[in-house]
Amino acid sequence: MKIYPCTVTLLTLALAGCGGGGSSSGAPAPSTPVVSDAQKNYESMALSANGGLHYLDGSLSISTSSSGALTVNPGSFFFTYDSNIPLSAAGGPQLLSETYTTLASTLPLPKFSAAGRYLVNGNVYTAAGPTQGSVSYSGNNILTNFFAADGKTVIRSLLDSSVTAVGLSGLIASSPTELFTNSSLGIITNTINGLSLYNKQASWQPGSAYLKIVRQSVGDTLSVGDCVLPVTTGVNITPCTNTVSTLEGFFPHVSSTDGLTYQITDGQIVTLAGVRAWVSNAALKVATPEFRVYYQSNGAIYRGALLRDGTQLQLSVPGATTLQNFYIFLNGAAMQSVKSAVNF
């Protein structure tokens, strides 16, 4: 999970004073939900009536013939994750739904990997696919709880603490640099033997814009998966061993995945997600800091990765030397503009 990344604000109730603003029956005027600037920016695009949010993703493998003609090879993709909520979350939690749209008529959607799996209260749950969740407002921020395939168990939560809207107009080719360098839109701005992958004379449709969203995890999140073969896709994951039942007897452990030999002193034994678990002291070498976990359950030892509460999500950007601490989402008009501009 591309990996999207909302909760309920306190409502302020302005009661009408005597002789002004009240109804003829004497009942107080209806309250008006108060939303923060970040929540207003989010709603300006996330509501289904406003076109929803669209996160770009892509990978292109391109070859050229002797005559210079471009061919986009099989396995390439250029698409968006499309998410929306039906109404403002100021009045209460709203269901988040997700679909996918290919932005190139010649390319199908990619084959998505198996849904992620998470340990909650000692049980393994598979994430819903496509993504399902609930958005609500928490103070000035936006909270999204993501559901398991059962449509109700919360497997992870993200808080959007900064939401900035940036308008788009004029030529797509003259867009802000960060749109090309910090999103997958940069994929189509490359030229192949002098040929462009999109119409450089194309302009943004009226109302086009994008959101920059800073996100952090809420609560400890333990993702889990197969430690050794066989590869599975359901809730019955393959343990590291079923002949050792306690963490004390498991170490030292050689992890080919991490390229390390773990000693029991390299971490701490704690209670995590309803199980007895060993958590490494050092973070794994991934963009958003996670920590290797081994846990005991039903007489076996399993593997996972811990995303700690409050961790800010980060992205590795190709060609950049620093990590990116925000996500970029297009609105509906901007997504349609890109779809109309591609040449493949």
Name the strand (E) or helix (H) holding 149: none
What confidence score (pLDDT) does residue 120 get?
98
Residues 250 and 317 in one domain: no
pLDDT tens track for 122-160: 999 999 989 999 999 999 999 999 999 999 999 999 999
- Give the residue-averaged pLDDT of 258-286: 98
Residues 142 and 92 in one domain: yes
Q: Is residue 20 part of a domain?
A: no
Tell me, yes or no, whether 281 lies in a domain.
yes
Q: Is 25 within a domain?
A: no
Write the DSSP assignment of 1-17 as a string of letters.
------B-PPPP--PPP
Q: Are residues 191 and 46 in the same domain?
A: yes
Q: What range does the domain containing 228 cover?
A: 221-307
* Residue that is written with structure tokens 């590869």 in the block: 231
> How would you label 231-257 residue by residue, b for 16+ Cβ within 10 Å and e otherwise?
eeeeeebbbbbeebeebeebbebeeee
- The answer on 214 and 110 residing in a single domain is yes
Q: Do 58 and 186 meet the contact criterion of CB atoms below 8 Å apart?
A: no
Q: CA 251, 281, 244 angle in degrees (round to 5)?
A: 20
Q: Is 29 within the bounds of a domain?
A: no
Q: Are residues 50 and 181 in the same domain?
A: yes
Say whether both 285 and 337 belong to one domain: no
Measuring CA to CA, which residue among 235, 212, 211, 213 is closest to residue 225? 235
Please give the tally of structural domains in the chain.
2
Tell whether 154 and 42 lie within a shared domain. Answer: yes
106 falls within a domain: yes
Query: What is the reported pLDDT for 274?
Result: 97
Residues 204 and 246 grouped into a single domain? no
Does residue 22 belong to any structural domain of this protein? no
Mean pLDDT calculated for residue range 303-310? 98
Same domain as 281, residue 192: no
CB 232 within 8 A of CB 238: yes
The model's pLDDT over 26-81, given as tens digits with 9 standing for 90+, comes to 555 555 678 999 999 999 999 999 999 999 999 999 888 777 778 889 999 999 99
